[in-house]
Structures are given as C-alpha cells and as structure tokens.
Chain A
Amino acid sequence: MSGAEGARAANGNPRRSFFQRQLEELGARFSILEDGPLATDFGTATAEREQARQLGLCDLSSLPRIGFKGANTAAWLAGRGVALPAQPHRLARIEDGLLACRLSPGEALLLSQPWGASRLIKDVERAWSIESAGLCFPVPRRDSHAWLALVGARVPAMLTKICGIDFRPHKFADLTLAQTQVARTSAIVARADVEGTGCWHLLFDSASAAYMWQVLIDAMSEFDGRPVGCAALAPPGSAL
C-alpha cells in the first residue's frame, strides 16, 4: 500500500504514527494495524534488509505498548504470563516476541515485537482492573511516547554523537536498557537484537517526534544511515 493509499485507508482510524508525514514523503508503504498504519517498506524491501545490517531507522509508533507502575507490578504481570527480569534495566523476550522491560523495581514497559502487534499486550491491557491488580497501575504509552528502532552495526557509533551512554555491543549487552537523554531529550533506549543484528529501541516524548526524526536523520547521514520499513527487521517468512 502506498503512502497516499495508506493515509486514505487510515482515514477511518484517527490514529496514525507521529512520523506519518515524514514517512509518506519518503514513499512508505503501510500495513494497517488496529493502532494505525505501520510503514512496512519503502518499495525496496531487499535493499532495506541490507541497509538494516548497517544503519537503519524504523518507525514502530503504531505498534502496541503499555507500561505498568506500582509495588505489585511484577507479581500481577507474572500472573498474566509476563515474567519481568529480576533486575531493573533489563528486558526479556516473552511469548509472541513481546519485550518485557523492567524500568525500575516497580515499573514495567511492554513492547510489541518490531514487526507486528503483540496479542499478549492487548490481553494484559484488557485484564487490568483496579480491583484485581492492587498496587499496579497502567501507564499508557501509546500517545505519550514515540517509538523508533535504530538497527545495524553502526548504531553505537552514531549514538555517541547524541548520547553519553556507551552502546557498543560489548559494553551494552543485548536485553539491556538505559533511561537517559538522547539529543537532550529524555528517552528510554532498550537493546533487543533482531536476527543477529543489533537493534536499539528508542522511546521518547511524542511532542519531540519531529525534532528527534530530524536529529537522527542528520546524525545518521555521516554513517550512510536511512529509514527502513519494519519488514527489514522481521525474520524471513514472517507475516506482517
């Protein structure tokens, strides 16, 4: 589906990515999800897959995500089939590719796999009630936080220009996260490699989306980085 068609198809759903305009200008093709159109590719899927090995920027803002906060968060989520890592600043891969991030002892963030909506996130969201969850409260992240994935071997070098954390693979292991500032904007950076390639998920205030897109495109240009569709992150043969 082309950018214009994607925009038309999304008309029935007021939700769209914070980067919709930028993606349409680049000729993105969209897959329509419950939470809005997701850019799957830019018409060059094979080249994008190759690009993603080096340095790619992928918008995942239309995928489900939710946070929970409170002393009972880990216990309540465990009862719903989401086992958080024991330590803060770690994440775990759960059923259907869901990434379960532990931001602090009492705060969690659940992210879909990068190539499709996680059913488990919706199930957990629907299961929550103030009566059943106790000291565990939802922290909606769909509208507050934009979500980009930075993928490829050159990501750590590029990030040194805009962030003080050392993201080199031997210093910042797979399934580790940091809450820090990227380009002077507060952000969560979570590493969850895909298909053996380093992948750093970047979540930040959605009001800064246009600014951050511009900053990242500029920072990537030195390393021949380009936007890629989420198909470039998917395992071969996976349904988008």
Chain B
Amino acid sequence: MKIMPCPLNGPRNIQEFICRGEVRIPPAADASAEAWAEYLFYRENKAGIVREWWCHLPTTFWFIAERDTRTDEIIRTYTFDALDESGSGR
C-alpha cells in the first residue's frame, strides 16, 4: 500500500486521493496572449521534483504535494496557505 501524508488527515492509503496536476501560477490579467496560451494549454511534464495539486476525496481537502516523478517518491505535502507568492512552499 502506498501512503500519502495528508496535511489534514495524516498518513492514508493513496487510493483515497486524486492527483489534479501541476501547481501553476496564472499570469497577470493583462498578460500577453502567448503567456495565457502557455498557461492554459502547456504543461511542464518534468522528470524530477514537481509540485502538484492533490485532493483527499472523503474530505474534499485540497493540498499540495511535492513528488519526484522519476521515483514516484512523495517529498512533502502542505496546504495552499504555505505556498508563497514566488510559488515555492515555505
């Protein structure tokens, strides 16, 4: 059984969660069409440590997980509040 450490519920079977993709910071409202197209239609799909949105389904609790896509290791998890403006977890 693979375990996900949920910031609200603690360590749980990963079957209780769903991954909803990369955490992405939207461009400013007056950004160029190219910047918005990049944001809407492209994903980084990096081999390495990525930051992703995850949801604990029984509580619909959303949080952020840092995961190494090469090893599928979960590095750490935290709530959106802990994500600072630069996009990095505090």
Q: Which residues of A contact B (CB under 8 A)?
A: 88-89, 103-104, 164, 178-181, 184, 186-188
A104-B59 in contact (CB<8A): yes
B13: nearest residue on chain A (CB-CB)? A164
Question: Are B57 and A186 touching (Cβ within 8 A)?
Answer: yes
Q: How far is the CA of A89 from the CA of B9 in the complex (A)?
A: 8
Are A88 and B13 in contact, with the CB atoms below 8 A?
no
For A164, the chain B residues whose CB sits under 8 A away are 1, 12-13
Query: Which residues of chain B are near A181, meaning CB under 8 Å?
Result: 13, 15-16, 57-58
In whole angstroms, how far apart are the Cα atoms of A186 and B57 in the complex? Answer: 7
Smallest beta-carbon distance B14→chain A, Å: 10
Query: Interface majority SS on A: helix, strand, loop or mixed?
Result: strand
- Do A186 and B58 have beta carbons less than 8 Å apart? yes
- Chain B, 6-32, CB within 8 A of any chain A CB: 8-9, 12-13, 15-16
Total interface residues on B, using CB and 8 Å? 12
* Interchain CA distance A188-B16 in the complex, whole Å: 13
How far is B1's CA from A89's CA once the two chains are assembled, in angstroms?
23
B61 within 8 A of A: yes
Q: Name the one of A88, A104, A180 contacting B16, with C-beta atoms under 8 angstroms.
A: A180
Q: B58, A187: Cβ atoms under 8 Å?
A: yes
Q: Return the chain A residue nearest B3 by Cβ.
A: A164
Contacts A181-B15, A181-B16 known; 12 new A-B pairs at CB < 8 A: A88-B8, A103-B59, A104-B59, A179-B9, A179-B56, A180-B9, A180-B12, A180-B58, A181-B57, A186-B16, A186-B57, A188-B58
Chain A residues lying within 8 Å of B8, measured Cβ to Cβ, are 88, 104
Distance between Cα atoms of A164 and B13 in the complex (Å): 7
Taking CB atoms, residues of chain A closer than 8 Å to B56 are 179
**Docked complex Cα distance between A180 and B10 (Å):** 11
